[in-house]
């Protein structure tokens, strides 16, 4: 299962924290990359090379052109989501910066930049851990980093019932297990929908070894 990360670490999209956490992750990902190449479909982080045409204002030309380009690239790309590759978590390196092309009229220069980055893309059948963000009668929403996952009440074990009230939750009949906001759950993704800017998943906890892993109310 490649890398399993505590979802709350990813939960924050604060740029700096985000980068920090993920750079660490990225490194470990790189290390484990070779060994996991075979099982690719089962991992949600990928270290891949992407290409992008960067437009740079002429004022950035000079000694620091490269740095400027890279910082702009990071700013532009990190944290975005592309349907094909998923969320770009962090840029780990620049492979190649092509020759710049000056645009007529504006003076902007377009550079084709190839960069390595870590992307996060959930797949069907994957198991991950997520933090419950909202519970309602239709099911609950959970987040694992930037990804929102919905677990429908049809995909919650039948013995768990919805309890409305101040803190809506799903509770087993004996009350031993409770899913409410901020609970951490382990779930399996059964479907994904990838938009231009968002990945939305449907998950299930109706399977062996899935369900609550950490209950805030118990603590």
Partner 1 sequence: MPRRRDDDDDDIDADEEEYEEEMEQPLDEEEEEEEEDRSSRKRRRSDFIDDVAEEDEDEEEEEEEEEDDDFGGGGRRRRAKRPSGSQFLDIEAEVDSDDDEEEDDAEDDFIVDNVADIPDEDDNRRMHRRPLLPREDEQEDVEALERRIQARYARSNHMEYDEETTEVEQQALLPSVRDPKLWMVKCAIGREREAAVCLMQKCIDRGPEMQIRSAVALDHLKNFIYIEADKEAHVREACKGLRNIYAQKITLVPIKEMTDVLSVESKAIDLSRDTWVRMKIGTYKGDLAKVVDVDNVRQRVTVKLIPRIDLQALANKLEGREVAKKKAFVPPPRFMNIDEARELHIRVERRRDPITGEYFENIGGMFFKDGFLYKTVSMKSISAQNIKPTFDELEKFRKPGENGDGDIASLSTLFANRKKGHFMKGDAVIVVKGDLKNLKGWVEKVEEENVHIRPEMKGLPKTLAVNERELCKYFEPGNHVKVVSGTQEGATGMVVKVDQHVLIILSDTTKEHIRVFADDVVESSEVTTGVTRIGDYELHDLVLLDNMSFGVIIRVETEAFQVLKGTPDRPEVDIVKLREIKSKIDKKISVQDRFNNTISSKDVVRILEGPCKGKQGPVEHIYRGILFIYDRHHLEHAGFICAKSQSCVVVGGSRTNGNRNGNSYSRFAGLATPPRFPQSPKRFPRGGPPNDGGGRHGRGGRGHHDGLVGSTVKVRQGPYKGYRGRVVEIKGQLVRVELESQMKVVTVDRTFISDNVAVSTPYRDASTRYGMGSETPMHPSRTPLHPYMTPMRDIGTTPIHDGMRTPMRDRAWNPYAPMSPSRDNWEEGNPATWGASPQYQPGSPPSRTYEAPTPGSGWANTPGGSYSDAGTPRDSGSAYANAPSPYLPSTPGGQPMTPNSASYLPGTPGGQPMTPGTGGLDMMSPVIGGDTEGPWYMPDILVNYRRSGDDPIMGVIREVLPDGSCRIGLGSSGNGETVTAPSSEVEVIVPRKSDKIKIMGGALRGATGKLIGVDGTDGIVKVDDTLDVKILDLVILAKLAQP
Binding mask 84-113 for partner 1 (x = CB under 8 A): ----------------------x-------
Binding mask 172-191 for partner 1 (x = CB under 8 A): -----------------xxx
Q: Is 204 in the site for partner 1 (CB under 8 A)?
A: yes
Q: Is 202 in the site for partner 1 (CB under 8 A)?
A: yes
Q: 28 or 80: whose CB is closer to partner 1?
A: 80
Binding mask 63-82 for partner 1 (x = CB under 8 A): -----x--xx--x---x---
Q: Is 133 in the site for partner 1 (CB under 8 A)?
A: yes
Q: Is 193 in the site for partner 1 (CB under 8 A)?
A: yes
Considering only the stretches 25-33, 36-44, 54-62, 170-178, report the one whose residues sit in contact with partner 1 under the rule CB under 8 A. Answer: 54-62
Q: Is 57 in the site for partner 1 (CB under 8 A)?
A: yes
170 touches 135 (CB < 8 A): yes
Shortest spacing between CB 4 and partner 1, in angstroms: 21
Give Cβ neighbours of residue 120 (< 8 Å, ≥ 6 apart).
10, 44, 45, 86, 87, 89, 145, 146, 147
Residue 162: name the closest of 183, 139, 142 by CA.
139
Considering only the stretches 21-29, 53-61, 109-117, 167-175, report the one whose residues sit in contact with partner 1 under the rule CB under 8 A. Answer: 53-61
What residues numbered 138-167 form the site for partner 1, per CB under 8 A? 138, 141, 150, 152, 154-155
Shortest spacing between CB 16 and partner 1, in angstroms: 9
The full 3-state SS of the chain, as one line of letters, equals CCCCCCHHHHHCCCHHHHHHHHHHHHHHHHHHHHHHCCCHHHCCEEEEEEEEEEEECHHHCCCCHHHHHHHHHHHHHCCCEECCCEEEEEEEEEEEECCCEECCCCCCEEEEEEEEEEEECCCCCCEEEEEEEEEECCEEEEEECCEEEEEEHHHCCCCEEEECCCCCEEEECCCCCEECCCCEEEEEEEEEEECCCCEEEEEECCCCCCEEEECCCCC
Q: Is 134 in the site for partner 1 (CB under 8 A)?
A: yes
Residue 50, strand partner residues: 115
Q: Which residues bind partner 1 (CB under 8 A)?
A: 13-15, 55, 57, 59-60, 68, 71-72, 75, 79, 106, 124, 133-134, 136, 138, 141, 150, 152, 154-155, 189-193, 195, 200, 202, 204
């Amino acid at each position: 299962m490649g890398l399993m990360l505590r979802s709350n670490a990813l939960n924050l999209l604060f740029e700096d924290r985000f980068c920090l956490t993920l750079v660490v992750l990225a490194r470990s990902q790189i290390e484990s990359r070779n060994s996991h190449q075979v099982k690719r479909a089962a991992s949600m982080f990928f270290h891949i090379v992407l290409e992008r045409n960067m437009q740079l204002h002429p004022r950035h030309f000079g000694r620091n052109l490269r740095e400027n380009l890279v910082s702009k690239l990071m700013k532009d790309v990190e944290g975005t989501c592309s349907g094909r590759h998923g969320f770009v978590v962090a840029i780990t390196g620049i492979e190649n910066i092509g020759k710049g092309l000056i645009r007529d009229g504006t003076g902007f220069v377009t550079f084709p930049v190839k960069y390595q980055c870590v992307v996060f893309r959930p797949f069907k059948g994957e198991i991950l851990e997520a933090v419950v963000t909202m519970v309602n009668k239709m099911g609950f929403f959970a987040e694992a980093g930037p990804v929102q996952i919905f677990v429908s009440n049809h995909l919650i074990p039948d013995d768990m019932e919805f309890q409305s009230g101040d803190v809506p939750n799903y509770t087993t009949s004996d009350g031993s297990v409770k899913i409410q906001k901020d609970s951490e759950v382990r779930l399996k993704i059964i479907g994904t929908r990838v938009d231009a800017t968002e990945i939305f998943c449907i998950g299930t906890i109706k399977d062996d070894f899935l369900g609550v892993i950490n209950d805030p109310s118990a603590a």
